[in-house]
Structure 1
Amino acid sequence: MVESISSAEFLLLLQQGSVNVLDVREEDEYQQHHIPNAINFPVSEMGARVDELDQNELYYVICRSGSRSFTATEFLAQLHFNVINVLGGMNQIANEVA
């Protein structure tokens, strides 16, 4: 089961302070617009880069619409990472973040 959070709840967390954000879009999408301090961690590279993540941290996983982040969250949760999918993705919050 994939744990998820609404875009509104996620925005509140961002406003309250530092959270670990994994942006699983491809690099060109990330470069166009992203959440400050988000880690670009494309789904296409996830298997090769999973050792870069800390299993003791909580990560909020975001993409453009929520589809890739769901897949990424499911994959990482199976590897025992603490991950939460951000519903609606950047489509929902793009105008709210710098």
Structure 2
Amino acid sequence: MREYTTKEVEEKLKNGVKLNLIDVREIEEVEAGKIPGTVNIPLGLLEFRLNELEKEKEYVMVCRSGGRSGRAVQILESRGFKAVNMVGGMLDWEGEVE
């Protein structure tokens, strides 16, 4: 499984790299703060919303600590998508939130 640290994601965003960020936390968790531009697809709904994703794109999966996003990467990879886990999740995130 490919992984980015929170620092790597923050640096890429600061340098203008377009990342396709998907936050797999529950709606209430995301309402407390998310990385700007992140799309919320709760982990339990991910398989039902695969039609919203494109296999040509790479997705960076985000959750609270990195566990759920790791499971999300496994789901996406098993369906032929490219995905990367943001290890440490929002607990380690020091960048901007909205």
TM-score range, shorter chain: over 0.9
- Report the CA distance between 1:73 and its aligned residue: 0.5
Query: In 2, distance between residues paired with 1:50 and 1:8?
Result: 27
- Residues 18-52 of structure 1 show CA distances to partners (whole Å, capped at 9, x for unaligned) of 21100000111111100111000110101111111
TM-score by length of 1: 0.92
Amino acid at match of 1:10: V
Q: Which runs of 4+ in 1 moved over 4 A?
A: none
Query: In 1, distance between residues paired with 2:47 and 2:82?
Result: 16
Query: In 1, distance between residues paired with 2:95 and 2:35?
Result: 9
TM-score by length of 2: 0.92
Alignment of 1:56-75 (within 5 A): 56-75=56-75
Q: Which has the higher helix share?
A: 1
Identity of aligned residues (%): 31
Q: Match of 2:15?
A: 16
Aligned length: 96
Q: Match of 1:53?
A: 53
Amino acid at match of 2:92: Q
Amino acid at match of 2:64: R
What stretches of structure 2 of length at least 5 have no aligned partner? none
Q: Match of 1:3?
A: 2
What stretches of structure 1 of length at least 5 have no aligned partner? none
Q: Match of 2:29?
A: 29
Q: Match of 1:38?
A: 38
Moved more, 54-63 or 2-11: 2-11
